[in-house]
Every structure is written in structure tokens, then in C-alpha cells.
Structure 1
Amino acid sequence: MQGPGIAILVPADLVVLVLESFLYGVLVLLFVSAVHFLTTRRNFARPRAKHRLTSVVFLAVTALFVVETAHWILIVYEAFFGLIHLGNTASEVAFAADFAVPSGVAKIVFLFVAILVGDGIVTYRLWIIWGRNVKVVIFPIVTHIALAVLGLVLIVKMVTWAASQKVDFGEEFTWEAASAVLSLLPNLYSTAFIALRIWKVTDVVFTSESTLPWFLLILIESAALQTFWLLVCAVTAVLKSEELFSIPANTLPAIIAISNTLIHTRVGWSQG
């Protein structure tokens, strides 16, 4: 585990701790706002709050909130464990670089769950926005299945590495890069098609004063934030930069949860 650039992982983990804590605070505010709007605003399609809180999308968003909460707890645990119990810089560096520790494996599990749920929500919205056209979502569904299989293989490998106490960082990075790219492709596809559909049906004119709200509508409804962060993950993974990849990868569950919770918050605001 001793190699050039590994020592940068400890500062990177501190950046992750601060950044994800901030993002988690934003997510809590958005989630509470979404619940408030769903329970207090009138919705003609689903007049009862109970029906709105049991919708497929909101249950998926709730699952993302729970997953991100667990992921953030693990980030905080690792930070305190490294600072309090390891006692020296060398041990902290080795712990930060060892992805096969139980907490590291758990973070990977939560990361893949967040990606699959987030991708599922985007694909579901694509299907709804395009009038339940099955042909439009064939490509995302195929890539989701491939990503699920790839994630399962990576998790099994990490458990094996944890049992043998030997991590193949080169192989792990290859799997992670493939996962990032495989998640990025359907998100780019879905974001483009959702944005295209919204652009076609909206009456807003580009030259009008409402261009910015139109742009924000596209940004939120198409989950562009999620897609952008996946692009950052894919680029840093392909570059095989451990210190850079750890920051967007560890904050990805929070970004996915925020991106999808924003949809419910925006709907609630518009109804208000």
C-alpha cells in the first residue's frame, strides 16, 4: 500500500468528510421540504397524502435518503476511527487506502445501491415523460442490468480481498472505472431524451424573461446534476487517480439523492 501519491488520500478523506456532511445537510432540508409539500399541498392526481407518500418515485427517493444516511455515517466513523484509534500517520494512510476493510466494502455496497436506485428513478421518469414508450427505455434497462452484475462481481471480489487481507488496487480501479462509465452512458441518454421532451412540450420562448426558470426546469427534471457528477467520477476513474476519484465517488450517493429529491421539492414549490 506504500506508493507515490497514497499519502494524499488522507487529506482527500477529510475533504470528503466536510463535503459530504454539507451535502447531507442540504439533502435533509430538501427531503423534509419534499415530505412537507407532499403532505400539505393539494394534488389532483393523488388527492390523499398517503397515496403521494407511497408512490413509486417517493419510496425510491426515501430509499436514497436512507442509503445516503448510512453512507454518511460510515464516512464519519472512518474519519473518527482513523484520527482516534490508529494513532500515527502511517496507520491512517494505510487504513484510508485499504478499500477491503468492512466499512470500505459497506460503502461500495451503498454506493452501488444508490447508483442503481438513482438510475432506476431517471429511467422511470424517462418512461413516463415519453408516454410509457417501452422502446425509449430499452437501452437504459440493459445497461442497468449489466451494472448490477458488474457491481455484484466487484463486491464479491472486495469481500475476497478482505478475507485474504490483500487488495488488487489495479483490478479494483478497472472495475470501478467500468462501473462509472456504464452508469454514465444511460444517464447521458436519459438526460438528453428527458430534456428534449421537455423542450418540445414547453411554451417558453428562449428570448423571454423566463429562460432561467426554463433552464432550471430542464436541469432538475432531467437529473442533470446526477449525470454531471457521474461524468466527473468516470473521468477521474479513467485517469486512475485514487486521490481524485475518492472525492466524487464518496459524495456520489449524496449527489444522486439530492438530484432526485429536488424533483419532488420543485413540484411542491410549483403547487404552492
Structure 2
Amino acid sequence: MVSTGIPLDTATIISTALEGILFGFSVLMFMGTMWASIHYKRDANRPIALAAILLLILSTAHLIVDIIRLQDGFVKYRDIFPGGPVAFFQDISQPTFVTKNLIYALQTMIGDGVVIYRCYVVWQSVRVIILPIMLWCGSSVAALIAPYYASQATGGNVYTNQTGQWITALFTLTLSTNLISSGLLVYRIWTVERKISQNRATNGTMMPIVHVLVDAAILYSAALVTILICFICANNAQYIMLDMIMPIISIAFYMVLIRLTPWKTTPNFLPMAYSGEIERRSSQRYSMKPSQVHVSEWTQNDGLEEEVKTET
């Protein structure tokens, strides 16, 4: 299969530049997430906090490898590599190509794992996440095997090599994992919201949680669909999207935390862990509480109006 679209060397320059821009946004959002967690004194959930730090580290490492790859292709091996920069970037057995794909594999495993974790702590049921876990295991295997076949490649490009089959499987499985897990998560919160809406004593609502989760899922899924379409069509634009999705994973993760942490109507545990006790605690939060009722009664005594107050 012959690659189409923009030249590979041009795609590499564009992808690294756009990745750098998005990486800057992800760093700012990471800092905002940490500041919001400290400022609003929310108790950080250790697995989620660890995932946030790992995503930042992996995104940084991926960008560094891409910069090194640019330097190798356009400077170091420009005149000595057969075919020039285009052939260099097309060679999937290059150590920098294998390394960046391993980093992407870890980033994807963490990002999808966090979505499944959120789904579990909201539902508090292992049965609900059986299918997402199976899909996550499949995508993890594909994500780790693809770089291996790339390192063993002796010719051809990513579209003709066996690596391409595993990459296609990876994109398909991770997209399915994200859509199913996010759908289950949103459905659970939405059903809880419906149950407590009739007994709510205040104007608080959990629908902003649904909106944020849907936004994050759409952002990530749209990037995955674009990559999958470009890869199936053997379009070099997939290299651009593949580099961009590294910070996009982090951004989708941080946007959920940073937008929910300052939300005062959200239980303290929700932005970090999405606890499965939403229904119980929300019912307690909006349950009818005993209140004092003041009843005023006016009586007339000897021509004077007298107010009698009774309290119940």
C-alpha cells in the first residue's frame, strides 16, 4: 500500500510543532489541576494523582523523542541515510520510532485504565467493567506488540508491515474501550440524577458532571476516529494525529478534574474518585430535613389585637 497525503518529512515537522503546542496546554492544565486540588482542599485520590503525574511524564518523554527524531532525520543522517529524510522517517525500525510508540502504548494504557477505574468506582460492580477490561487487555497487547514488530522490520512502511495490523487493532480496541466506559459512567450518573431530582431541596444538580465527561470522551474519541480513518486510508496525516493524541489524552484527563474540583455542589470525593456512593450521599445531601414551622395566630382580646405564635 502506497502512502498518500502530505510528504512524510513535512508531516513530521507539523506533528512535532502541534504536539509542542498541545503539550504546553496540557502542562498548564496539570498545574491548574494541582492548584485547584490544593486551593479547594480536596482530598486527592492516590491512583488518580499518580496517573496525572505519569501522563505528564510520558507526554514530556514523547515530545523529547520526537525532537531527537527531527534532529536525526534532518541533521544527523540527512546526507548519509539512503533516500534522505523521507526514507529515514519511513523506516519504522528506527530506535526513535520504536521508543515513541512504546511511550504511546503506556500513555494509552494509563488513559484507558483511568476511564475504566472511574466507571468501576461509580458503579461499584466488577461485572459492569468486564467488557471494558477485556477490551483494555486486548488494546494493551496490541500496543506492546506493534512496537516489537516495528523493531524487527527490514523494509516497507508502517502500512505494508505487519505492524500496521496491530496498530489498526490498537486504535479500534482503545476507541471501543473509551466509548463503552464513558457511556456506562455517564449513564450511571444520569440515572442517579433522575432518582434524586424529585426529592431535591436545593437547586444543585450533577448534570455538569455529565457534560464534562461527555466533552472529554468526545475529544478523545474524535482524535482516535481521525487517526483510524487516516491509517486505514494510508494517509500520512495519521502521523500528525498520532503525535497530537499524546497531549490530548492528558488534556482530556485534566479537564475533568480541573472543571469539577471548584464545583461546590459536587461531593468532595467526586472529582478525584467518582465514588460509587454517589447515589447514597446525594440522597443524604438532598433529603428532607426536620425544620421549624412558625405559625402565627391573631386573636382579639378586649379590643386589642394579640399575636400568638406557636412553634412546631
User: What's 2:152 paired with?
Assistant: 160
CA contact (8 A) 1:23 1:254 kept: yes
CA contact (8 A) 2:98 2:148 kept: no
Counterparts of 1:24-35 in structure 2, within 5 Å, are 24-35=23-34
- Distance of aligned partners of 1:72 and 1:136 in 2 relative to their CA distance in 1, 3 Å threshold: same
- Distance of aligned partners of 1:127 and 1:108 in 2 relative to their CA distance in 1, 3 Å threshold: same
- Distance of aligned partners of 1:87 and 1:7 in 2 relative to their CA distance in 1, 3 Å threshold: farther
CA contact (8 A) 2:92 2:151 kept: no
* Structure 1 CA distance for aligned equivalents of residues 38 and 56 of structure 2: 18
1:181 aligns with 2:180: no
1:104 aligns with 2:93: no
1:79 aligns with 2:70: yes
List gaps (5 residues or longer) in structure 2. 198-204, 266-312
How many pairs are equivalent?
Answer: 253
Alpha-carbon offset, residue 224 of structure 1: 3.0
- Distance of aligned partners of 1:271 and 1:104 in 2 relative to their CA distance in 1, 3 Å threshold: farther
- Distance of aligned partners of 1:259 and 1:185 in 2 relative to their CA distance in 1, 3 Å threshold: same
Alpha-carbon offset, residue 156 of structure 1: 2.1
CA contact (8 A) 1:198 1:218 kept: no
State TM-score, norm by structure 2: 0.73
More deviation in 102-111 or 184-193? 184-193
* Structure 1 CA distance for aligned equivalents of residues 122 and 222 of structure 2: 21
Q: Percent identity?
A: 24
3-state secondary structure, aligned to 1:223 = helix
Which residue, out of 232, 255, 262, partners 1:262?
A: 255
CA contact (8 A) 2:40 2:262 kept: no
3-state secondary structure, aligned to 1:240 = coil
3-state secondary structure, aligned to 1:42 = coil
Max Rg structure = 2
* Structure 2 CA distance for aligned equivalents of residues 191 and 4 of structure 1: 33
Moved over 6 A (4+): none
Q: Which structure dedicates a bigger proportion of its chain to helix? A: 1
* Structure 2 CA distance for aligned equivalents of residues 143 and 258 of structure 1: 23
Which residue, out of 228, 235, 251, partners 2:229?
A: 235
1:138 aligns with 2:130: yes
Counterparts of 1:200-239 in structure 2, within 5 Å, are 200-202=191-193, 216-220=211-215, 223-239=217-233
* Structure 1 CA distance for aligned equivalents of residues 3 and 143 of structure 2: 28
- Distance of aligned partners of 1:11 and 1:38 in 2 relative to their CA distance in 1, 3 Å threshold: same
- Distance of aligned partners of 1:199 and 1:14 in 2 relative to their CA distance in 1, 3 Å threshold: same
Which residue, out of 188, 197, 201, partners 1:197?
A: 188
List gaps (5 residues or longer) in structure 1. 47-51, 205-209
* Structure 2 CA distance for aligned equivalents of residues 263 and 218 of structure 1: 7
* Structure 2 CA distance for aligned equivalents of residues 87 and 6 of structure 1: 22
* Structure 2 CA distance for aligned equivalents of residues 67 and 4 of structure 1: 28
Higher relative contact order (CA 8 A, sep 6+): 1
